[in-house]
Amino acid sequence: MKDKVIVIGAGLAGVEAAYQAAKRGVDVELYEMRPGTETEAHKTGFLGELVCSNSLGSTQVSAPSGLLKEELKMLDSFYLKIAEEFRVPAGSSFSVDRLRCAERITEEIEKIANIKLIQEEVKDIPETSSPVIIATGPLTGADFAQNLTTITLRKNLFFFDATCPIISADSIDFDQVYFASRYDKGEADFVNIPLDEGQYQEFVAGLIAAEKMEIKDFEKNIFFEACLPIEEIAKRGEKSLAFGPLRPVGLIDPKTNRMPHAVIQLRQDDLQKNFFQMVGFQTRLKWGEQKRIFRKLPGLEKAEFERYGRMHRNTYINGPLIINKYYQCKQKENLYFAGQICGVEGYVESLSSGLIAGIFAAQKVLNQPQYNLPETTACGALINYITRANWKNFRPTKFTFGLLPEVKTKKGNKKLKKELKSGIAIEEMAKWIEKAGI
Ligand SMILES: Cc1cc2nc3c(=O)[nH]c(=O)nc-3n(C[C@H](O)[C@H](O)[C@H](O)COP(=O)(O)OP(=O)(O)OC[C@H]3O[C@@H](n4cnc5c(N)ncnc54)[C@H](O)[C@@H]3O)c2cc1C
């Protein structure tokens, strides 16, 4: 009997994966639980619905989402082709009419003869040797998530995501901060930002007054399950941060030989020391507010944020432990993970993983040779991150230029670096497309 690909979840990753497999002549069963079973965020029964913003990011290839989209277009992205028809004016951002786009995506999927759309909730992992692509997204149905733990174990499936801001090292003014570990234990690994009482009070007031992201009803209890946002701690009392994540004990400032009133610590985030993470700074502050308030801190006046802090409901696996570079489950090779559940973050990143997983699953059915994506491409750098990051503190990621291998430029010209990385990525993607016969 001819083998097929089963795709569970017809969101952004699922429709892209289904199309890529079907386009290669493979039969596809595509399961979607809506409209019969709803999620907390989707509003319709349409496939590929954008749940919140209508923007798919920048159109510029010198911006991360622009480069990722460019590669997806080269790979014949189904979603982007249709989205193009529903673009709304939005400057250099690729924004669409969300509902009309999702409606057309649904119509087009329904027209594809070798895709069988089955609108029912999948509660367990199908017993089959056919490739199964799990693309159930951040709001995966509860029964399915529960049953997934037979593969991932409970400890490697997460239901909530809290990340702290990450800052480029070359944007930190190191003259105003100092390296030290608490009580000088181990190496002086942390960057410490000392605050006097006045600076601390101003910072606390800024956090409390800042604009926050709206909390969705279904997210209201997450603060109790996980760590508190920094602004929430600030609200609990003037001293709560100084006794909590900003406690200065054991962090003597070598310039004054005294313990500051409060200390903000930054921890090295990558082996090359290109990035530092603000410790304990999970937050729901709007991104513009994070930039405004954190740039008032000594040494961070010119901080470039590689990633902002965030907190939201999110179902995802511990990618580095569970999947390989083909988005394939290490333990059960017919299973693939794509979309937000595999540890990527964002619309375009979800499309990227769905598209690539769809190609790999189809190639498996067709017994075709498979080739890793080069790490120098945006799609390859994403896979590289979610399969090779440190599993102990794995957090979902968007694609950023920081995930691509370093290129050297005179005087570290950042704009030029991005342009060079983009050029290499597009060139390498073209070569991969040819080699893999895409
Ligand atoms: C509230 C919210 C807002 C977000 N806003 C943005 C944003 O503005 N910009 C951005 O870039 N990213 C945003 N994201 C993150 C992410 O990019 C999107 O969630 C994106 O849709 C993820 O794509 P996906 O294909 O992984 O999941 P989805 O698009 O959610 O698709 C998963 C599909 O699987 C279905 N499904 C789930 N369980 C089952 C089951 N058991 N059986 C059958 N079907 C099932 C769901 O109904 C859904 O249709 C947001 C996430 C959330 C939760």
Q: Are residues 142 and 213 in the same domain?
A: no
pLDDT by residue (tens digit) across 409-434? 877 688 899 999 999 999 999 999 99
Q: Are residues 205 and 262 in the same domain?
A: yes
CATH code where residue 384 lies: 3.50.50.60
Q: Are residues 210 and 302 in the same domain?
A: yes
pLDDT by residue (tens digit) across 136-187? 999 999 999 999 999 998 889 988 878 889 999 999 999 999 999 888 776 7
pLDDT by residue (tens digit) across 59-81? 999 999 999 999 999 999 999 99
Q: Are residues 342 and 193 in the same domain?
A: no
pLDDT by residue (tens digit) across 76-103? 999 999 999 999 888 888 989 999 999 9
Q: Are residues 236 and 223 in the same domain?
A: yes
CATH code where residue 170 lies: 2.40.30
What crossing angle do the helices spanning 378-388 and 64-74 adopt, rounded to 10°?
Answer: 110
Pseudo-torsion of CA 215, 13, 434, 328, nearest 10°? 100
By alpha-carbon position, which residue is closest to atom 5 of ligand 1? Answer: 52
pLDDT by residue (tens digit) across 110-132? 999 999 999 999 999 999 999 99
- Quick check: 239 pLDDT over 70? yes
Q: Are residues 12 and 134 in the same domain?
A: yes
Q: Are residues 147 and 13 in the same domain?
A: yes
Domain range spanning residue 358? 4-162+312-435
By alpha-carbon position, which residue is closest to atom 16 of ligand 1? Answer: 346
Q: Which atom of ligand 1 is nearest to the CA of 123?
A: 41
For the chain, what is the mean pLDDT? Answer: 93
How much distance in Å is there from the Cα of 375 to the middle of ligand 1? 26
Domain count, the chain: 2
How much distance in Å is there from the Cα of 435 to the middle of ligand 1? 32
Range with the lowest mean pLDDT among 36-40, 50-54, 295-299, 399-403?
Answer: 50-54
- Quick check: 216 pLDDT over 90? no
Confidence (pTM): 0.85
**Band of residue 366 on the pLDDT scale cut at 50, 70, 90:** very high
Q: Are residues 113 and 221 in the same domain?
A: no
Q: What is the average per-residue pLDDT within 309-333? A: 93
